[in-house]
Structure 1
Amino acid sequence: MRTTLHIDDNLLRRAQDASGIRDKAALVHAGLNALIASKAFQRLASLSGAEPRLRVAPRRPGRRKTVRID
């Protein structure tokens, strides 16, 4: 899809310098992917290990293998 964007020249130059990406389309793609990854990480971190609907899976007894180190 073609889209026209008005991006500050200084911001574009800083992003190119930081990423090493010179192609503008590739730079925008990388930036969008980084934003998506960052937001996904924030959502995961906001759970803080708590998921009220999650049930703990029962453990199966005797399924562990003992490794002997001599």
Structure 2
Amino acid sequence: MRRTIDIDDQLLAEATWITGISEKTTLIRAGLQALIERESARRLALLGASEVQLKPVPRCQS
């Protein structure tokens, strides 16, 4: 799917320099994937200890 977006040139240059990804489409895709992973982890962390009726899970000792 093609989209026209306006991205700050300095931001794009810094992202290219940091990641080493020079192809813009690949760079944007990697950035979106990183954002999704970060926000998914944040949401999961917010759920931590929210199940009050959950019993402790027994751990196997090896």
1:11 matched to 2:8 = no
Change (3 A) 1:55 1:6: same
The TM-score with structure 2 as length reference comes to: 0.79
Secondary structure at the aligned position of 2:13 is classed as helix
- Supply the RMSD in Å over aligned alpha carbons: 2.4
C-alpha distance in structure 1 between counterparts of 2:14 and 2:57, whole Å = 51
Gaps spanning 5+ residues in structure 2: where? none
Number of residue equivalences: 61
Task: Kindly name which structure, 1 or 2, has the bigger radius of gyration based on alpha carbons.
Answer: 1
The TM-score with structure 1 as length reference comes to: 0.71
C-alpha distance in structure 1 between counterparts of 2:6 and 2:45, whole Å = 33
Query: Which structure has greater helix proportion?
Result: 2
